[in-house]
């Protein structure tokens, strides 16, 4: 009898141990009122190849990029309301503010010296696989892109705007000509390489795009 009881206890202990090993980390917890809140999580596995609207986006060799630039949910203390986008230019991060003191943090590429900007704007509209129209000032510096000023470069894997673009307007309702957009140049994330716009990896701009509803409430704060 004692042998059978001991065997039963061992079996129960093994069952509990196996159950404990099978648990997975959840991306959300619950507050005291039952509302789900985001918990810290890193999304390194979300950078594989994907077909998007007929365009075969290649996988990003994400392990070659510093982990702090991988998309992740982080603690973020701010007075900005959820849905606000905060661009931290010096640290090369973009934060999409969530409830509960959290934010989705993306690694970004920023404007090189002479093209940096700061201030506030809002996302007036957004576009999937946008057509690229470089500003005339860029065409003066780079004559090879002059033909795209009027006719535009059609969407595609080599388009500088990547898979998505969010268009920033100022408080007077005028186009700032600055964009939050994707880029095929994943290795530029974490650097100052653009002509002023804020670039994200294509897989990241797709994620951010899905969260943003254009309008005056889609506020963007750019810090220098």
The label of the residue with tokens 């934060």 reads 95
User: Sheet holding 93-98: strands in order across?
Assistant: 41-42, 72-75, 102-107, 93-98, 85-88, 219-223, 119-128, 164-169, 175-183, 198-201
Can you tell me the distance from the alpha carbon of 180 to that of 48, in angstroms, rounded to the nearest whole number? 22
Which phi and psi (to 5°) does residue 15 adopt? -65, -45
Average pLDDT over residues 152-170: 94
Q: Report yes or no on whether pTM surpasses 0.75.
A: yes
Query: Binning pLDDT at 50, 70 and 90, where does residue 1 land?
Result: very low
Q: Are 14 and 8 in contact (CB under 8 A)?
A: no
Q: Please, how many CA atoms are within 13 Å of residue 179, restricted to the half-sphere of its CB?
A: 27
- What domains does the chain contain, in order, with CATH numbers? 36-223 (2.40.440.10)
H helices within 93-196, ranges in order? 136-141, 148-151
Q: Are 97 and 88 in contact (CB under 8 A)?
A: no
Is 126 a residue whose pLDDT tops 50?
Answer: yes
Better-scored residue on pLDDT, 80 or 224: 80
Coil/strand/helix, residue 190: coil
Query: Binning pLDDT at 50, 70 and 90, where does residue 202 land?
Result: very high
The label of the residue with tokens 């950078």 reads 47
pLDDT at 220: 97
Can you tell me the distance from the alpha carbon of 200 to that of 210, in angstroms, rounded to the nearest whole number? 14
3-state percent breakdown (helix, strand, coil) of the chain, nearest 5: 25, 35, 40
pLDDT in tens, 8-27: 334 433 333 323 322 223 34
Coil/strand/helix, residue 96: strand
Is 171 a residue whose pLDDT tops 60?
Answer: yes
DSSP type of residue 159? -
Q: Are 143 and 165 in contact (CB under 8 A)?
A: no
Q: List CB contacts of 189: < 8 A, sequence separation 6 or more.
A: 65, 69, 92, 107, 108, 109, 183, 199, 200, 201
pLDDT at 147: 81
Q: Are 194 and 110 in contact (CB under 8 A)?
A: yes
Query: Binning pLDDT at 50, 70 and 90, where does residue 52 land?
Result: very high
Can you tell me the distance from the alpha carbon of 159 to that of 182, in angstroms, rounded to the nearest whole number? 9
Average pLDDT over residues 70-76: 98
């Amino acid at each position: 009898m004692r042998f059978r009881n001991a065997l039963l206890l061992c079996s129960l202990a093994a069952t509990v141990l196996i159950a404990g090993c099978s648990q997975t980390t959840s991306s959300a917890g619950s507050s005291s009122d039952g509302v789900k809140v985001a918990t810290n999580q890193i999304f390194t596995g979300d950078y594989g190849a994907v077909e998007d609207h007929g365009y075969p986006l290649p996988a990003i060799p994400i392990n070659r990029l510093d982990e702090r630039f991988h998309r992740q949910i982080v603690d973020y203390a701010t007075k900005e309301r959820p849905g606000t986008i905060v661009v931290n230019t010096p640290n090369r991060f973009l934060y999409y503010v969530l409830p509960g003191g959290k934010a989705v943090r993306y690694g970004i590429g920023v404007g090189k010296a002479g093209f940096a900007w700061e201030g506030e704007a809002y996302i007036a509209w957004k576009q999937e696989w946008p057509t690229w129209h470089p500003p005339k000032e860029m065409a003066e510096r780079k004559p090879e892109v002059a033909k795209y000023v009027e006719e535009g470069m059609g969407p595609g894997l080599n388009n500088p705007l990547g898979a998505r673009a969010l268009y920033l307007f100022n408080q007077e309702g005028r186009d700032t000509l600055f964009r939050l957009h994707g880029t095929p140049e994943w290795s530029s994330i974490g650097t100052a390489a653009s002509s002023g716009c804020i670039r994200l990896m294509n897989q990241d701009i797709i994620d951010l795009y899905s969260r943003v509803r254009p309008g005056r409430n889609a506020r963007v704060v750019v810090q220098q």
